[in-house]
Amino acid sequence: MKLGASIYPVGYHVAGWRYPGAQVDGGIDLQHHVDLARTAERGRFDFLFLADAAVLWHEDIAAVAQTAWSTRFEPLTLLSALAVATQRIGLVATVSTTYNEPYTVARMFASLDHLSGGRAGWNLVTSANPAEARNFGRTDHPAHAARYERAREFAHIVTGLWDGWDDDCFVMDQASGVYFDPAKVRRLNHVGRYFSVAGPLNLPRPPQGHPVMVQAGLSDDGRHLAAETAEVLFTAQPTLADAQAFYGDVKRRMAGFGREPEDLSIMPGVVTLVGRTRAEAEAQRRRLDAVLEPLSGLAFLSGLIGAPDLSQYPLDGPLPELPPTEGPKGRQRLLVEVARRENLTIRELAQGIALTSGHRLVVGTPTEVADQLEEWFVSGGCDGYNVAPAHLPGGLDEFVDLVVPELQRRGLTASGYEGTTLRDHLGLRRPSGRGR
């Protein structure tokens, strides 16, 4: 069972910063992040995962002001610092293909891979929030299908740039005066619909060959891109049946690209509340629910579901019919299905989403939590999990100190790292490169 630690600085809950013991300035405190990374490494997590977007999470500043999510380090900068503070844990950062350039992204992740000794991973996303466009001189946000078409070309360029140098290209021979063998370097010379990139990069091939390719998506376009290019897929399913159907669909699609099922680890998110007793775990949820402000909870739901302003509808009424979104299509479909199936009011849905962001919620004692994680893993629902503590730092401490030993006792997770790179942790081969 593979494990990622999905970290929002104060926890996944929208009001996590108000939980007792929270590090309220955690988003801009380096030592807080160092402590979290070292805790995850102590728990033998395969990687630390940082979500990101180049925009405030909602345009309603009054709602944003009730959360701590407006303060968050740029992820590559942060992971470069954490590379020095850790030894084995993988370091995964989110960078969008919608408002970045392939050469810059390829160079940044190659640099992180060198700095960390082969522990970098790139979470490739397409920007779902249309407000990002205005931060990059655009007036219109690209349509969903166009974003994924651009992302596919983007990924091809980035991996091509990583393969621009042979592994043994740099001889660095002082006696002969030859620093690298010019016969072992290639220009990419890519010309496509969205980009024209000559290459090569101005640093050697990354230690992993390619930093691990991670994606997060639920839509049909997202599944197709993951089947073609991803090595880890961060997803969200509310039930085992949903997880099994998604898992089987994506794994089947991989065959069309000449890939084997083990080339991709599907890792749904799980939001965790762990207590030494069931009552203790459930009390954590009640504390979080009590400090959630309705304005921020409703705004978060509106943005995540790709809906217009939901405040115009009765809070204790049903979710209205929603127009198709050009934002997070898969997440909209998931949340609408949950609301309809469970007959939830807007208030109830917002309160649940404020805690889980649409991910599975796992609550209980260490044994109960381990049982729930094992069930999906052995039943063909996943290859592991992105564990998202609802509050920090306590939520991660509790998972590592209480749940991880139980998973290790069952033989589901390892008690130590067998290799040094993120590819080693995930059982992934090292790409040989396009010039071989």
CATH at 15: 3.20.20.30
What's the first-to-final CA gap in the chain, in angstroms?
A: 33
Query: pLDDT value at position 100?
Result: 97
Say how far apart CA 413 and CA 59 lie, in whole Å: 41
Residue range 327-342: average pLDDT? 81
Instruction: Give the DSSP letter of residue 401.
Output: I
Residue 435: pLDDT over 60: no
Residue 95: pLDDT over 70: yes
Residue 432 covered by a domain? no
Q: Which of 52-56, 243-247, 324-328 has the lowest mean pLDDT?
A: 324-328
Residue 436 covered by a domain? no
pLDDT class of 308 with cuts at 50, 70, 90: low
The H or E element spanning position 212 is: strand 212-216
DSSP, collapsed to helix, strand or coil, labels residue 282 as helix
Q: Count structural domains, the chain.
A: 1
Rounded to the nearest integer, the mean pLDDT of the chain is 94
Query: pLDDT value at position 286?
Result: 95
Query: pLDDT value at position 436?
Result: 45
Query: pLDDT value at position 434?
Result: 65
Residue 433 covered by a domain? no
pLDDT class of 155 with cuts at 50, 70, 90: very high
Residue range 393-410: average pLDDT? 98
Check if the beta carbon of residue 353 is closer than 8 Å to that of residue 338: no
Residue 9: pLDDT over 80: yes
Residue 431 covered by a domain? no
Residue range 424-431: average pLDDT? 97
Query: pLDDT value at position 211?
Result: 98
Query: pLDDT value at position 90?
Result: 98
Residue 279: pLDDT over 60: yes
Residue 434 covered by a domain? no
Residue range 382-391: average pLDDT? 98
Relative to beta strand 196-197, strand 190-191 is antiparallel
Q: By percentage, how much of the chain surpasses pLDDT 70? A: 98
Say how far apart CA 373 and CA 383 lie, in whole Å: 11
Say how far apart CA 119 and CA 115 lie, in whole Å: 9
Report for 147-151, 237-241, 300-304, 306-310: range of highest mean pLDDT: 147-151
Say how far apart CA 213 and CA 46 lie, in whole Å: 14
Check if the beta carbon of residue 120 is closer than 8 Å to that of residue 208: yes
Query: pLDDT value at position 354?
Result: 92
Residue (of 204, 194, 270, 284) closest to 237 by Cα position: 270
Tokens of 366: 């260490």
DSSP, collapsed to helix, strand or coil, labels residue 37 as helix
Instruction: Give the other-Cβ count within 10 Å of 119's Cβ.
Output: 31
| pTM over the 0.85 mark | yes
Q: Which is more confidently placed, 307 or 102? A: 102
List the domain range (segments joined by +) for residue 321: 2-426
Residue 324: pLDDT over 80: no
- Please write the tens of the pLDDT for every residue from 194-207: 999 999 999 999 99
Say how far apart CA 147 and CA 5 lie, in whole Å: 27
CA angle 153, 158, 161 (to 5 degrees): 125
Check if the beta carbon of residue 214 is closer than 8 Å to that of residue 91: no
67-77 residues labelled b (16+ CB within 10 A) or e (exposed)? bbbeebbebbe
Instruction: Give the DSSP letter of residue 323.
Output: P
Residue range 326-341: average pLDDT? 80
Residue range 66-81: average pLDDT? 94
